[in-house]
Structure 1
Amino acid sequence: MGIIERREAEKEALKKKIIDAASEILINEGYTNLSIRKIAAKIEYSPGIIYHYFKDKSEILSFIIKRGQAKVSKIINETLIDENKPENSIINVLKNYIKFVLDEKETYKAVLMNSLDDTNLNIKMLYEGVSKDKKSISSMCDCIQTGIDNGRFKKVDVELTAQIIWTSTYGLISRLIIEKNVPKEQEKKLIEHHLQFIINGLIGGKI
């Protein structure tokens, strides 16, 4: 590894330390108690070093959110649309998403289950036309439209339906996180029933 490559690797390693420390503070103390000074103390660097990478704590939060969104996009991109049974694609992507969030529930709770003005532009998904901006919504729209086109799903407003599917899934996840210690068997039944309820609503007695 050359000098330039080594320096870049060192920069990325430090950036990761900053983000990991910020995530830990978010989880344990909440966003209001997150500060550049606290992050610096945790990683044993000066605050000035952190400002070299991020202008303020809101930019750090934005980075954490985008990192999570990138993981969600990966989950979505790895789920191909089943042209014959698009409901399978919907079930698979939602199952994988629910598992991902529950595996990282503390970060999800600290970042997305609080009313943080700094996150609003990153996580809004209820506005008209969101399918042009959000991969999660546009991919769900594609699945729904495929089902309508091949006669498996009833005709619906595709974007509105995709929004409701995602927001209802967020609701279930939020309750599973808030209501700690839900037995695994009950958690599994709730998730399975949620997914079946969605598919039944799309099919609407057509099949």
Structure 2
Amino acid sequence: MIELTRREREMQELRNKIIEQSWIIIANEGWQALSIRKIADAIEYSIPIIYKYFENKEAILAYFSKEGFALLSDKIGNSLDNKLEGPEKIKTIAKTYWEFAIENSHHYRIMFGLGIPACETINSSIEMKLTSDYFLEAITDTLTRANNVNADKYLKLKTFWSILHGFVAIEILSNKEINKKVPNTLQDAIEGFIFTLQFNK
């Protein structure tokens, strides 16, 4: 293990301080309220110092987005059993996704502040790709078991993610306390989605 010099430790501590204070601002005021000036004022450093660690506010938000997708992919991975067949995997993923969004709403808002990420964005991020791969594997397994060779699995992947995000976004934007239990409407939508994978050939 390489031992850090005193200067390196100080730099790491300051970077962590910037991250911690950024998260406090996000948690208290929302991610849109984050600014380099607010961070600098909070940690009592000059604005140019912040720029030595993060080139702009977007770079800090990208850090939290990456962290959020890592948490989401871990949660989905831990929820899945290799013995589950495709349709049950889809239901499990939907339940886990909902729970993650409710438990980590600040991360979720940052991760999807501009909507569902495009394919090129997903492929450029290991954390996003892991999440996407779990979705795709469950969909592919369902299509294969149903002998549905005509469906576009990548289109179905986008549809599935749109269903999940749509229901979560409606709840988050409602500004009310959100029930951790998956709503019946989402369960019904997932059942319908699975049906199309199995029988729309």
- Number of equivalent positions: 197
> Does 1:198 find its partner at 2:171?
no
Deviation at 1:10, TM superposition (A): 5.5
Greater mean alpha carbon deviation, residues 63-72 or residues 162-171:
63-72
Contact 1:176 1:187 survives alignment (8 Å): no
1:1-207 correspondence runs (5 A): 4=4, 11-30=11-30, 33-80=33-80, 82=82, 85-109=85-109, 111-112=110-111, 114-115=113-114, 124-125=117-118, 134-151=129-146, 155-181=150-176, 184=179, 188-204=183-199
TM-score, structure 2 normalization: 0.75
TM-score, structure 1 normalization: 0.73
Deviation at 1:26, TM superposition (A): 3.6
3-state SS of paired residue (1:4): coil
Unaligned regions of 5+ residues in structure 2, if any? none
CA distance, structure 2, for counterparts of residue 183 and residue 85 of structure 1? 30
Which has the higher relative contact order, 1 or 2, with Cα contacts under 8 A spaced 6 or more apart? 2
**Aligned residues with identical type, % of pairs:** 27
Given residue 162 of structure 1, which amino acid in structure 2 is its aligned partner? L
| Residues 173, 158 of structure 1: alpha-carbon distance in 2 compared, 3 angstrom cutoff | same
CA distance, structure 2, for counterparts of residue 156 and residue 104 of structure 1? 33
Unaligned regions of 5+ residues in structure 1, if any? none
CA distance, structure 2, for counterparts of residue 8 and residue 200 of structure 1? 56
| Residues 3, 140 of structure 1: alpha-carbon distance in 2 compared, 3 angstrom cutoff | closer
| Residues 91, 17 of structure 1: alpha-carbon distance in 2 compared, 3 angstrom cutoff | farther
3-state SS of paired residue (2:4): helix
CA distance, structure 1, for counterparts of residue 150 and residue 81 of structure 2? 18
Give me the CA root mean square deviation.
Answer: 3.6
CA distance, structure 1, for counterparts of residue 33 and residue 132 of structure 2? 33
